[in-house]
């Protein structure tokens, strides 16, 4: 077996590979950019080498630098993880030329399957059913427009070299085609260095089902069953599960055998995923093959009791597959949720910042057939509390994976694990994921790729007022903080005037604490007044008796009236984050002693919704525009975001040019609304 490998990646997959390597007694070398100098993957590997500045094109995508580091450190093989160079055939060839083992498929297989259009042509020759579409080489915009018109709308445009939902657009009518094509090509060239696209008929209510395949160098190839990845936003997976709900045994076998045939057709070696799009009637069509390990591979590991990274290492070393097809079986059900630093209420915009507080649910092991099986709650993460989520890379915080004896048990465990997840410092999708998992559509397995769009009302409910229990917890946390600060400053703790206990001679101290929820500034929220009266054994809170019954760090147990309440309260500046009953409330405290009057953003200036780069300016100074008309297109984390006119009006000044980097909240242009 290898004695040392280099991991040519970052984040949670680098940590994941390192964990298996350590268990197998294999030393690991990490590579990192300047932005990742203190990253978790650097800390968990045996060695780490700086390879360049923060932008991936100057670090993690520099194959020559990575190969040089591997040779200098004595690594025998390179594991590319997923993303970056994992499906780069030229890099695989370069590794082989340098005498290094590339822990992945042969370059020839990657070339055959790396282009969506070429792969579809190959599958067509093998009589694998394909979705109607155009997969050819011609890329003239007018020609592609004509092909789309022939296919019939809606049409799906996809980057031929793409993946992860990047470079994909659904077009509903012919009039929108040219603009969508230009946007698709920009995103494709930015993400993959190749702007070639293909066009397909967009199926209504399809399911996204993929088959995990594995092949060795001895000619053996098997499938490790399927994953349902239908729940998506912006064509990126949100929840994945295995096995696929409602999958009959004969269809599972048919899809598995088709996937193995596809892998054998290109001489595949290692871990790969053959992806299918399936109609509700069970018919399925080949979509693409990902020639690497997938983000969602843990759900397959959970139901099969395998370590797919270990399999990768053994196969790359020349060993046979650890199991044959008949030795594999499905045990239970697993679900994976991707925890992202993003704001679902703002169109899933990435959130940049520091993880000031992160509490993950604890992993729990269980017994299966008399042997210890994988944890029923598993966390794969590449960040720690105190780490920053930067604008340079994917904003994933962690993958949360749960196992249950059946889907019902797995759903319950996922809901509880999400309730136990706490993040402060930036926006996350945790609350959204909890609503998704507990929603009727997902719980009943009414699955298709449009599930989120179909359930907008329940998944994005109107803001609810914070309950009095959350306000009481925040109030107690504030009062305890004031008491501790007063005691620290008082020279005489017996002095009743300096201990912040609210003591008054022949009277009772009363005060009002002003809180507001996080959306108040946008006019969508609510302000709250907590009336506090100090008493000997606690307080009155809005005329209800309030007392502290126990405290462990930031976890408070209180009694409000006759109700026993507990929760965790963390303060971040003027924000109080209250985690209670599986929910997270963010309350802004208005400190009467602080300087009032924050400077408001200058009116009439449209601002950047996140840090990023300007990739298109669609208007000129002095131009009249209509409400909803696109003005500027920004790119952050390889996803495009369009800034549109909020009203009819006039563009008074364009403040940034194409290629400029802008900060979160920076004014992009001066805009005057029509009278």
Say if residue 615 is preceded by a cis peptide, omega within 30 of 0. no
CA distance 633 to 650: 18
Per-residue confidence band for 595, with pLDDT thresholds at 50, 70 and 90: very low
Determine the pLDDT at residue 607: 82
For residue 364, the cross-strand partners are: 377
Which run of H or of E encompasses 63?
Answer: helix 63-73
Helix (H, G, I), strand (E, B) or coil at 44: helix
- Size (the chain), residues: 675
CA distance 229 to 300: 12
For residue 620, the cross-strand partners are: none
| Tokens 């920053």, located at residue | 388
Say if residue 463 is preceded by a cis peptide, omega within 30 of 0. no
Across 173-177, 367-371, 501-505, the highest mean pLDDT is recorded for: 173-177
Residues 6+ apart with CB under 8 A from 150: none
Q: What is the pLDDT of residues 233-274, one digit of tens each?
A: 888 899 999 999 999 999 999 999 999 999 998 999 999 999
* Residue 190 in this model has a pLDDT that exceeds 60: yes
Q: What is the pLDDT of residues 113-155, one digit of tens each?
A: 877 777 878 888 777 778 888 988 899 999 999 999 999 999 9
Q: Pull the structure tokens for residue 33.
A: 């950019």
* Residue 602 in this model has a pLDDT that exceeds 50: no
Find the catalytic residue in 292, 314, 413, 435. Answer: 292
CA distance 229 to 244: 9
* Residue 599 in this model has a pLDDT that exceeds 50: no
* Known catalytic membership, residue 292: yes
By CB atoms closer than 10 A (0-12, 13-18, 19+), residue 431 is: middle
Phi and psi angles of residue 567, each rounded to the nearest 5 degrees, phi first: -175, 170
By CB atoms closer than 10 A (0-12, 13-18, 19+), residue 329 is: exposed
Query: What is the sign, positive or negative, of the torsion defined by CA atoms of 425, 431, 433, 437?
Result: positive
Determine the pLDDT at residue 14: 98
Q: Please, what are the domains in the chain?
A: 4-103 (3.40.50.20), 132-201 (3.30.1490.20), 207-459 (3.30.470.20), 468-589 (3.30.700), 605-673 (2.40.50.100)
Which run of H or of E encompasses 73?
Answer: helix 63-73
* Residue 287 in this model has a pLDDT that exceeds 90: no
Q: What is the pLDDT of residues 515-547, one digit of tens each?
A: 998 654 444 568 899 999 999 889 999 999 999
State how far Cα 25 lies from the chain centre: 31
Q: What is the pLDDT of residues 192-227, one digit of tens each?
A: 889 999 999 888 889 999 999 999 999 999 999 999
- pTM exceeds 0.95, yes or no: no
Q: Pull the structure tokens for residue 171.
A: 């077009």
Q: Pull the structure tokens for residue 385.
A: 């509390």
Determine the pLDDT at residue 445: 97
Helix (H, G, I), strand (E, B) or coil at 419: helix
Q: Are 431 and 410 in contact (CB under 8 A)?
A: no
CA distance 404 to 508: 55
CA distance 513 to 593: 12
The pLDDT mean for the chain works out to 89
**DSSP code string of 312-379:** HHHHHTTPPPSS-GGG----SEEEEEEEESEEGGGTTEE--EE-SEEEPPPPEEEEETTEEEEEEEEE
Per-residue confidence band for 38, with pLDDT thresholds at 50, 70 and 90: very high
**DSSP code string of 251-313:** HHHHHHHHHHHHHHHTT--EEEEEEEEE-TTS-EEEEEEE-S--TTHHHHHHHHT--HHHHHH
The pLDDT of 335-351, averaged and rounded, is 92
Q: Pull the structure tokens for residue 653.
A: 């000044």
Q: What is the pLDDT of residues 628-649, one digit of tens each?
A: 888 998 887 666 778 888 888 8
CA distance 458 to 462: 9
Percent above pLDDT 70 for the chain: 92
Per-residue confidence band for 293, with pLDDT thresholds at 50, 70 and 90: very high
Residue that wins the pLDDT comparison between 597 and 319:
319
* Residue 11 in this model has a pLDDT that exceeds 70: yes
Report in angstroms the alpha-carbon separations of 636 from 2, 216, 390, 639: 38, 39, 10, 5
Per-residue confidence band for 609, with pLDDT thresholds at 50, 70 and 90: confident
Determine the pLDDT at residue 372: 42
Determine the pLDDT at residue 490: 67
Closest CA to 109 of 119, 117, 124: 119
Q: What is the pLDDT of residues 310-330, one digit of tens each?
A: 999 999 999 999 999 999 999
Closest CA to 343 of 602, 601, 636, 54: 636
For residue 288, the cross-strand partners are: 275
Residue that wins the pLDDT comparison between 500 and 529:
529
Q: What is the pLDDT of residues 386-407, one digit of tens each?
A: 999 988 999 999 999 999 999 9
CA distance 522 to 449: 32
């Amino acid at each position: 077996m290898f004695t040392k490998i280099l991991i040519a990646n970052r984040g949670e997959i680098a940590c994941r590979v390192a964990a298996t390597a350590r268990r197998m007694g294999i030393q690991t070398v990490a590579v990192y950019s300047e932005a990742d100098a203190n990253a978790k993957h650097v800390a968990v590997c045996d060695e780490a080498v700086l390879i360049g500045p923060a932008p991936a094109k100057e670090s993690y995508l520099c194959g020559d630098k990575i190969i040089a580091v591997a040779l200098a450190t004595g690594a025998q093989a390179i594991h590319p993880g997923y993303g970056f160079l994992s499906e780069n055939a030229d890099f695989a060839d370069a590794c082989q030329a340098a005498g290094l083992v590339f822990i992945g498929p042969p370059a020839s297989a990657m070339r055959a399957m790396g282009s969506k259009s070429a792969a579809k042509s190959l599958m067509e020759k093998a009589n694998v059913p394909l979705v109607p579409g155009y997969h050819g080489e011609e890329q003239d915009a007018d020609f592609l427009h004509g092909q789309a018109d022939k296919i019939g709308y809606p049409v799906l445009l996809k980057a031929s070299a793409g993946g992860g939902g990047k470079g994909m657009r659904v077009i509903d009518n012919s009039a929108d085609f040219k603009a969508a094509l230009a946007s698709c090509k920009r995103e494709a060239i930015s993400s993959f260095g190749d702007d070639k696209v293909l066009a397909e008929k967009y199926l209504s209510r399809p399911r996204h089902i993929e088959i995990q395949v594995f092949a060795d160098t001895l000619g053996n190839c098997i499938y490790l069953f399927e994953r349902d990845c239908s729940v998506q936003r912006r064509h990126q997976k949100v929840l994945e599960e295995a096995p696929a709900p409602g999958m009959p045994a004969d269809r599972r076998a048919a899809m598995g055998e088709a996937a193995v045939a596809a892998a054998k057709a290109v001489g595949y070696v290692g871990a790969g995923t053959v992806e299918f799009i399936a109609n509700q009637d069970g018919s399925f069509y080949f979509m693409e093959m990902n020639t690497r390990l997938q983000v969602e591979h843990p759900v397959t590991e959970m139901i099969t009791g395998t370590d797919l990274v270990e399999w990768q290492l053994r196969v790359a070393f020349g060993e046979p597959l650890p199991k044959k097809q008949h030795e594999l079986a499905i045990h239970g059900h697993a679900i994976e949720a991707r925890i992202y630093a993003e704001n679902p209420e703002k169109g899933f915009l990435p959130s940049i910042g520091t993880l000031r507080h992160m509490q993950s649910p604890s992993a729990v092991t269980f017994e299966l057939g008399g042997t210890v099986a994988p944890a029923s709650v598993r966390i794969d993460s590449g960040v720690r509390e105190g780490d920053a989520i930067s604008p340079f890379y994917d904003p994933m915080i962690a993958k949360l994976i749960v196992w249950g004896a059946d889907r019902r048990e797995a759903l319950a465990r996922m809901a509880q694990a999400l309730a136990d997840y706490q993040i402060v410092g930036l926006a996350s999708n945790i609350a959204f994921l909890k609503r998704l998992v507990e929603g009727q559509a997902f719980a009943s397995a009414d699955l298709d790729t449009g599930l989120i769009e179909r359930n907008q009302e329940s998944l994005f409910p109107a803001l609810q007022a914070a309950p009095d229990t959350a306000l009481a917890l925040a109030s107690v946390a504030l009062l305890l903080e004031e008491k501790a600060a007063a005691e620290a400053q008082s020279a005489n703790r017996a002095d009743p005037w300096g201990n912040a206990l609210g003591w008054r001679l022949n009277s009772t101290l009363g005060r009002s604490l002003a809180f507001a929820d996080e959306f108040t500034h946008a006019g969508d929220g609510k302000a709250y007044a907590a009336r506090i009266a100090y008493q000997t054994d606690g307080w009155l809170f809005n005329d209800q008796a309030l007392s502290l019954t126990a405290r462990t760090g930031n976890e408070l147990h209180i009694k409000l009236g006759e109700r026993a309440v507990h929760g965790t309260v963390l303060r971040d500046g003027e924000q109080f984050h209250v985690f209670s009953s599986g929910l997270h409330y963010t309350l802004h405290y208005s400190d009467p002693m602080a300087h009032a009057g924050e400077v408001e953003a200058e009116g009439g200036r449209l601002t950047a919704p996140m840090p990023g780069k300007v990739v298109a300016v669609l208007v000129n100074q002095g131009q009249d525009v209509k409400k909803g008309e696109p003005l500027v297109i920004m790119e952050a984390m390889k996803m495009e975001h369009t800034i549109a006119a909020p009203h009819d009006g006039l563009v008074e000044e364009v403040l940034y040019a194409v290629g400029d980097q802008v900060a979160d909240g920076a004014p992009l242009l001066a805009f005057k609304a029509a009278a």
